[in-house]
Structure 1
């Protein structure tokens, strides 16, 4: 129950408004109580007993709501933007953010996570900039764009996950004759809410050397070897030094987990559900301080147990089809569709994928979340239906 608000009132000169109400657990409404509340208002004070229902609920009540965005529609609108909106300064790289319907029109997928589709036309360069927000790119279709991080060109191809820690200069260039779209994920809402963000423009044009199209970036040549850390490497940085996690490695890991399960060995999260987490090869921790990224594969006909977690997630269907239930909402999803799971809303997934709509014959889901923040603060909590986890 809430009896106060922060709507400004110039007549009284205080943004605090308190209303005495007759309710269980509340003090008796008397002239003396009314006088006390007016004193609180004048001194900008709010007693906890009028706010505890909102400030300390029995469980998280997210301001975000479950929602799904359809890839085909996003892709079509991004193509329209490609014809109308410049990619240079002012076009802000032609990034189009998902706006959760319950967050007041802000360009936030959840209160902590930003997700956007970015679109680059043939031959275009997205000019250089940097920001404190940690970021990644994930490619659900296409190839031919290179992201250039600190002067290192990194190829972007279907299924690739490309993380980038904050405050690194970066640009993109499309070396092909076809447009390309991908999704960006950042912690913009988190840094915005905590007033920690910085941004800086870089060069308007990248050099001829940075327009190179190497098969492997310098970061991959140094760090992209399983279980091997270069002795020459400096101390760990705030984010992963590996700038690309290639689909062929992710795909093989997921296949091997399901194969081990079929042979009677441990390896999957639950029956028919394989999952991997992208990690920093220098520390084994999450790739970015505020963002976790995973790939999940749910075998045809398998259904995941409903799971609740503190913190929020954004999922993109990489391949296949299935049915997704988040809280009270249920959708059928196919390749490219994106959906949001708010804090403590139960999620379950049923795979309906097959060889006709999935290269793996399963439902493949890319997920990113704010879990590292909650774990660092000791606020992480998970409940899987039917278990004590």
Structure 2
């Protein structure tokens, strides 16, 4: 602001704090000592995001309706976003994460594009769907985890006979916050296939996951059952894990600074997040926001997929984890 409008002496000689605050505000300055509706600092981690649960059967019915009403030629990605019920939230599932259910019909293709956010898919029902990432085409079968790192071209299609469904997870809200967002369509529509593979650094098949869970040791702290982590250095903001809990298992309560989203891959059970009981079964998704006390239990043998921003929290030295007994 032009110094001729308000002199520096008007600031130095302000008769009281209210006057100083008002005059400073005209110069884009605000005191750090005043009370605010949203504090600058909290005494402990805090989030407005809430525990939430999305039922796969409900989402699947909605996707079936969408498949009847809109094609991939118009929607490109026919998905339904899981919006957290936090006040004022539009699309985020957790503070740094956005998740959706997506479907594709036999014979359809969704054109290749690339974007800043890192993304992954958890395949819930599929026999014949495929993904192409940076020219490498591989299958997407039920139980697979499929990665699409930020900046990588990726498209998908379906050569099978039954409708395919999966879970999408991306760090879109984080990218919006940091503001490097972009998206770009491939000039050829679908990128050319350079080679067809089954083994890919972008695909973790379910049979391999189950073998590794069989060989994994139980969580010594008792918060989870057996756990494996997927290495995805090309997606450094996301941590990806799979948990197996035997029927009757009840974990120890814990809380941590990471925002986590869970997808049920097998079985059923109950998780309690910040006092909210969530009874889950195959394909369901639920979110455990940062620093909310969580405890997980299995009514029958169960497998849970987990994506979180733990890698980001560790890198930034924001990571905290503690038992809540």
| Same fold, TM-score > 0.5, yes or no | yes
1:367 aligns with one of 287, 292, 306: 306
Structure-1 separation of matches of 2:220 and 2:136: 36
Whether 1:120 and 2:104 are equivalent positions in the alignment is yes
Q: 1:289 aligns with which of 236, 251, 273?
A: 236
Is 1:95 the counterpart of 2:76? The answer is no
Select the structure that is richer in strand: 2
Show structure 2 runs of 5+ residues with no match: 1-14
Question: Structure 1 residues 271 and 104, CA, compared in 2 at 3 Å: closer, same or farther?
Answer: closer
Instruction: Identify the residue that residue 230 of structure 2 maps to in structure 1.
Output: 278
Instruction: Tell me how far apart the structure 2 counterparts of residues 43 and 136 of structure 1 sit (CA, whole Å).
Output: 45
Give yes or no for contact 2:106–2:158 (8 Å, CA) kept in 1.
yes
Structure 2 CA distance for partners of 1:172 and 1:315, relative to 1, 3 Å: same
Corresponding position of 1:341: 288
Change in Cα spacing, 1:157 to 1:110, as seen in structure 2 (3 Å) is same
Structure with greater contact order relative to length (CA < 8 Å, sep ≥ 6):
2
Matches of 1:250 and 1:109 in 2, distance apart? Answer: 25
2:3 paired residue number: none
Q: 2:165 & 2:87 partners in 1: Cα distance?
A: 25
Displaced runs of 4+ in structure 1, greater than 3 A? 203-207, 209-212
Instruction: Please give the alpha-carbon distance, in whole angstroms, between the structure 1 residues aligned to 2:138 and 2:277.
Output: 37
Cα deviation for residue 114 of structure 1 reads 1.0
1:157 and 2:96 correspond? no
Q: Which residue of 2 aligns with 1:230?
A: none
What is the CA-CA distance between 1:311 and the residue it aligns to?
2.4
Using a 3 Å threshold, how does the CA distance of structure 1 residues 245 and 268 change in structure 2: closer, same or farther? farther
**In 2, distance between residues paired with 1:383 and 1:165?**
31
Q: What is the deviation of 1:310?
A: 0.7
Give SS of 2:129's match. Answer: strand
Is 1:135 the counterpart of 2:119? The answer is yes
Q: 2:60 aligns with which of 75, 88, 95?
A: 75
**Among 296, 321, 325, the residue aligned to 1:382:** 321
Cα distance, 1:65–1:252 mapped onto 2, change above 3 Å: same
Distance of 1:271 and 1:309 partners within structure 2: 12
Q: Is the Cα contact below 8 Å between 1:313 and 1:341 reproduced in 2?
A: yes
Secondary structure at 2:124's aligned position in 1?
coil
Structure 1: unaligned runs, 5 residues or longer: 1-30, 225-241, 262-266, 281-285, 354-361
In 1: Cα distance, 2:224 partner to 2:152 partner: 39
Change (3 A) 1:201 1:51: farther
1:189 is the counterpart of 2:173: yes
Aligned partner of 1:60 in structure 2 is 45
CA contact (8 A) 1:317 1:337 kept: yes
- SS of residue matched to 1:206: coil
Report the CA distance between 1:146 and its aligned residue.
Answer: 0.3
Q: Distance in 1 between matches of 2:35 and 2:138?
A: 50
Task: Classify the secondary structure of the residue corresponding to 2:179.
Answer: coil
Q: Secondary structure at the match of 1:374?
A: helix
Q: Which residue number corresponds to residue 44 of structure 1?
A: 28
What are the within-5 Å matches in structure 2 for residues 350-365 of structure 1? 350-353=297-300, 362-365=301-304
Aligned length: 311
How much does 1:92 deviate? 3.4
- Provide Cα deviations, 1:224-270, integer angstroms capped at 9, x if missing partner: 6xxxxxxxxxxxxxxxxx0111111111121223xx66xxxxx7553
Task: Give 1:164 deviation, angstroms.
Answer: 1.9
Residue 306 of structure 2: SS of its match in structure 1? Answer: strand
TM-score scaled by length of structure 2:
0.89
Question: Offset at 1:105?
Answer: 4.2
Decide whether aligned partners of structure 1 residues 174 and 327 sit closer, same or farther in structure 2, where only a CA change above 3 A counts.
same
Q: Distance in 2 between matches of 1:69 and 1:142?
A: 20
